[in-house]
């Protein structure tokens, strides 16, 4: 009885802030300007297929780069002394205490013409623009989401029983074999939650592409941002499609995770 | 004799290891022969698991040599040693099924698939797990997991199998049947087994030889019969089986005085008037009439144990435990007899008459009748006795002047309980501080291998001022 009463605020919360908005988006997405039922918003939304594809591509690329960077880092972290582990974790987290926009501005300054990167490279005789392209967007996203990849992998890895590593060594594994046969398979749940935590927000992110990308690097989040106040229906339709994409992605990830099930 | 002819497979020579300043293994020497089942037995914290890990290659000794098959293998990593371990908590790989767990070592050896399959299935049959290949290891019972762990180690065909308390997590009945099974597997496979346990019964049941360890030292190595019948000291006697351990005085060869009586025994070479420990197993005490007894006592309690009665007899202030197939009447007076052969004489663990501290007075207060001295970096105050500053003094603390319960941090903060032996009346406790050992008596049972504060009761002490080098006049 008691636990039921305690859960009421949360149920209300979910109802007001999760369920109702989803239903409202669903309803809005099927209305035309006059408020009648219509599939027109979806027709318009499909006009943004290229942007969709580009967004998913950028998100996928950022996730992949995050994974490649984060996995060795997480592995190294688990092998450090406990005090060093905490220090490195702290350093990873500190940028997140700063405002999101500020971090993006910092990258704009770093990458802009005659900015620090340009100046440094010009000494080597290399000149160019490093902002206003897809690469800059990906760099910004990787910077933004790297901690979300490192932490879950690190958490799962640091929970691997040291005795298992000893058992593997005992049975004839050198360090490479220990990694391949024990640490890697047991770290997969961390990898999956890391991918989820990076891919989902980066697919729907906005502003990063506006500030760091070129004109054709606009992402689906930016489209929603731009059109929503003039065309709520199309905005809702795009959101709905994005939600479905993410849902399918999560289901796929979980299926993959189940195959590698850790009992 | 037959044992001696077998080849020595692994030797530990003068192994010494410290961890965080604590001595874990104090110059261990041990030879293990081919096809032998050796058990390393001792209380927790005695260094037995560390000894096993040194053979496995997981721990490197600070000094000393590990010899395997004639070759020094210090520094060889575990994966290059022809040794496999059955770990305490099994340590099965949770992401692999039973088959893949057992096949783990063989796959690393890059054997052909067909051969791996043959070997794994054969091994699973030996450990009685036929048909379990595809099961997830998490869904097996403790006993089954244990068998997978054994199969996984055995299938690699190592020269030695190391087993670290492998039956510790199983219930009693399963443990008993696994003990026999392990012994059977050892016979079948003809491997050398080195088994670590704190369970003396397990050690006696399974082993060809038992190595009894305490506080980083090997106390005794011998067959189960030897360590049971001829323990070298009170620790071994107390740790293995039930025993009456009594204080005695050797009057000469084959004559020992215990409980006020001089009895005949078979041990020689202890000198005359030497304090010794005497062991008499409960099953070796014969209950008879008071007239025929060597000792006389009153029956305090009788407990039926199935095969025998456990009878507690009070002789003077001492309690003697007797196992007898005949019952006795509580409250009655009985005589006790022991044949000379069954009286086992041992050197005292710590042959001292009292705990002696020799020190210099660092501060003295005549009006308060107190003085201070330093011991192992602690400043200790003696109340009720004045000895001038700078004097050399010898303080004799009788065994009952020491205690490990009291208020405050204690005179010495962390002393290690090395052994607790019940002497029929009180527990005789040996403590180890940073630089020395102490002997105390206690009515309460204390936990060995723990750290406790140590308190001195100087009102029971005697003081002796001795000549100090800078002061010629001697005793004041």
**Signed CA dihedral, B221, B222, B225, B229: sign only:** negative
pLDDT band of residue B162 (cuts 50, 70, 90) is very high
Predicted confidence (pLDDT) per residue in A146-161, tens digit: 999 999 999 999 999 9
pLDDT at residue B260 above 80?
yes
pLDDT at res. B62: 94
**What DSSP string describes B350-400?**
S--SSEEEEEEEEEEETTTTEEEEEETTEEEEEES----TT-EEEEEE-GG
Is any Cβ of chain A less than 8 angstroms from the Cβ of B94? yes
Count of A–B CB contacts within 8 Å?
66
Mean pLDDT of chain B: 90
pLDDT at res. B151: 92
pLDDT at residue B47 above 60?
yes
Q: Which residues of A touch B168 (CB under 8 A)?
A: none
pLDDT at res. A122: 87
Residue A62 lies in a domain: yes
Average pLDDT of span A192-196: 92
Portion of chain B with pLDDT greater than 90, in percent: 57
Q: Phi and psi at residue B430, in whole multiples of 5°? A: -105, 125
Predicted ipTM of the assembly: 0.77
What strand order describes the sheet that includes B344-347?
A: B261-264, B255-258, B244-252, B274-280, B344-347
Residue A12 lies in a domain: no
Name the residue of chain A whose CA is nearest to B59's CA: A166
pLDDT at res. B469: 57
Portion of chain A with pLDDT greater than 70, in percent: 96
Q: Tell me the C-alpha distance between B85 and B156, whole Å.
A: 11
pLDDT at res. B426: 87
pLDDT at res. B245: 92
Name the residue of chain B whose CA is nearest to A163's CA: B91
Predicted confidence (pLDDT) per residue in A118-130, tens digit: 888 888 888 878 8
**What DSSP string describes B184-227?**
HHHHHHT-EEEEEES-HHHHHHH-SEEEEEETTEEEEEE-HHHH
Mean pLDDT of chain A: 89
Residue A41 lies in a domain: no
Q: What is the CATH number of the domain that holds A189?
A: 1.10.3720.10
How do beta strands B37-41 and B209-214 pair?
Answer: parallel
Residue A164 lies in a domain: yes
Q: How many domains does chain A have?
A: 1
- Among A25-29, A178-182, B445-449, where is mean pLDDT lowest? B445-449
- The verdict on a CB contact (< 8 Å) between A171 and B77 is no
Q: Which residues of B touch A163 (CB under 8 A)?
A: 87, 89, 91
Q: Which domain holds residue A169?
A: 48-259
Per DSSP, the three-state class of B308 is coil
Per DSSP, the three-state class of A113 is coil
Is any Cβ of chain A less than 8 angstroms from the Cβ of B83? yes
Structural domains of chain B in order of their starting residue, each with its CATH number: 2-234 (3.40.50.300), 242-347 (2.40.50.140), 355-466 (no CATH)
Predicted confidence (pLDDT) per residue in B313-326, tens digit: 999 889 999 999 98
pLDDT at residue B388 above 50?
yes
Nearest residue, CB atoms, A170 vs list B56, B94, B136: B56
pLDDT at res. B476: 40
Name the residue of chain B whose CA is nearest to A185's CA: B95
Is any Cβ of chain A less than 8 angstroms from the Cβ of B84? yes
What strand order describes the sheet that includes B333-337?
A: B286-288, B333-337, B295-304, B309-315, B318-324
Q: With DSSP H G I counted as helix, E B as strand and the rest as coil, what are the percentages for chain B, rounded to 5? A: 20, 40, 35
Residue A240 lies in a domain: yes
Question: Of A101-105, A229-233, B98-102, which one has max mean pLDDT?
Answer: B98-102
pLDDT at res. A260: 52
| Pair B371, B461: CB distance under 8 Å | no
| Pair A240, A48: CB distance under 8 Å | no
Q: Which residues of A touch B56 (CB under 8 A)?
A: 170
Q: The whole model's pTM is what?
A: 0.80
- Among A84-88, A110-114, B423-427, B465-469, where is mean pLDDT lowest? B465-469
Q: Which residues of B touch A182 (CB under 8 A)?
A: 93
Residue A101 lies in a domain: yes
pLDDT band of residue A258 (cuts 50, 70, 90) is low
Residue A3 lies in a domain: no
- The verdict on a CB contact (< 8 Å) between A170 and B139 is no
pLDDT band of residue A261 (cuts 50, 70, 90) is very low
- Among A115-129, B111-125, B269-283, where is mean pLDDT lowest? A115-129
Residue A184 lies in a domain: yes
């Amino acid at each position: 009885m008691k636990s039921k009463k305690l859960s009421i605020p949360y149920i209300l919360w979910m109802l007001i802030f999760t369920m109702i908005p989803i239903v409202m988006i669903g309803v809005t997405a099927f209305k035309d300007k006059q408020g009648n039922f219509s599939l027109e918003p979806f027709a318009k939304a499909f006009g943004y297929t290229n942007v969709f594809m580009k967004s998913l591509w950028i998100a996928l690329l950022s996730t992949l780069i995050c994974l490649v960077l984060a996995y060795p880092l997480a592995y190294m972290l688990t092998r450090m002394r406990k005090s060093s582990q905490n220090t490195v974790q702290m350093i990873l987290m500190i940028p997140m205490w700063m405002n999101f926009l500020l971090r993006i501005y910092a990258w704009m300054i770093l990458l802009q013409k005659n900015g620090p990167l340009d100046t440094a490279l010009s000494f080597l005789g290399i000149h160019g623009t490093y902002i206003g392209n897809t690469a800059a967007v990906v760099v910004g996203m990787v910077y933004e989401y790297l901690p979300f990849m490192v932490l879950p992998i690190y958490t799962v890895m640091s929970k691997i029983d040291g005795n298992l590593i000893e058992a593997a060594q005992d049975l004839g594994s050198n360090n490479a074999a220990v990694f391949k046969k024990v640490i890697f398979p047991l770290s997969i749940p961390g990898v999956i939650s890391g991918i989820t935590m990076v891919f989902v927000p980066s697919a729907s992110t906005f502003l990063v592409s506006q500030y760091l990308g070129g004109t054709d690097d606009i992402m689906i989040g930016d489209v929603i941002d731009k059109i929503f106040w003039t065309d709520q229906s199309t905005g809702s339709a795009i959101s709905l499609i994005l939600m479905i994409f993410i849902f399918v992605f999560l289901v796929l990830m979980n299926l993959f995770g189940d195959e590698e099930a850790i009992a | 004799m037959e044992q001696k002819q077998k080849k020595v497979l692994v030797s530990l020579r003068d192994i010494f290891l410290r961890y965080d300043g604590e001595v874990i293994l104090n110059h261990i020497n041990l030879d293990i022969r081919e096809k032998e089942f050796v058990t390393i037995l001792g209380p927790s914290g005695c260094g037995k698991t560390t000894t096993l890990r040194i053979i496995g290659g997981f721990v490197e000794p600070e000094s000393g040599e590990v010899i395997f098959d004639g070759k020094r293998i210090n520094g060889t990593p575990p994966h290059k040693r022809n040794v496999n371990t059955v770990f305490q908590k099994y340590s099965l790989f949770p992401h692999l099924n039973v088959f893949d767990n057992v096949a783990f070592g063989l796959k690393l050896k890059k054997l052909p698939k067909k051969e791996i399959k043959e070997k794994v299935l054969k091994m699973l049959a030996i450990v009685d797990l036929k048909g379990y290949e595809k099961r997830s290891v998490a869904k097996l019972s403790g006993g089954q997991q244990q068998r997978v762990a054994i199969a996984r180690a055995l299938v690699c065909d190592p020269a030695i199998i190391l087993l670290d308390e492998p039956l510790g997590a199983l219930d009693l009945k399963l443990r008993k049947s696994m003990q026999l099974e392990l012994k059977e597997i050892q016979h079948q496979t003809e491997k050398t087994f080195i088994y670590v346990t704190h369970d003396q019964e397990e050690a006696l049941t399974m082993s060809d030889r038992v190595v009894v360890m305490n506080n980083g030292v090997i106390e005794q190595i011998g067959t189960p019969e030897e360590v049971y019948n001829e323990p070298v000291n009170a620790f071994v006697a107390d740790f293995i089986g039930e025993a009456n351990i009594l204080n005695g005085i050797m009057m000469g060869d084959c004559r020992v005085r215990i409980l006020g009586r001089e009895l005949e025994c078979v041990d020689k070479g202890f000198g005359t008037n030497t304090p010794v420990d005497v062991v008499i197993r409960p099953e070796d005490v014969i209950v008879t009439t008071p007239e025929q007894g060597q000792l006389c006592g009153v029956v305090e309690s009788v407990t039926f144990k199935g095969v025998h009665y456990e009878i507690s007899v009070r002789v003077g202030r001492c309690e003697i435990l007797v196992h007898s197939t005949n019952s006795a009447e509580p409250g009655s007076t009985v005589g006790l007899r022991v044949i000379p052969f069954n009286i086992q004489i041992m050197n005292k663990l710590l042959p001292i008459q009292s705990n002696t501290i020799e020190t210099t007075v660092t501060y003295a207060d005549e009006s308060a009748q107190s003085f201070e001295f330093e011991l192992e970096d602690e400043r200790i105050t003696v109340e009720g006795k004045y000895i001038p500053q700078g004097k050399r003094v010898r303080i004799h603390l009788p065994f009952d002047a020491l205690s490990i319960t009291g208020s405050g941090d204690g005179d010495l903060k962390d002393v290690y309980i090395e052994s607790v032996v019940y002497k029929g009346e009180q527990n005789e406790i040996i403590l180890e501080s940073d630089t020395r050992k102490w002997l105390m008596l206690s009515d309460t049972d204390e936990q060995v291998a723990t750290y406790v504060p140590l308190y001195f009761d100087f009102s029971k002490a005697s003081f002796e001022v001795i000549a100090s080098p800078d002061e010629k006049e001697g005793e004041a």
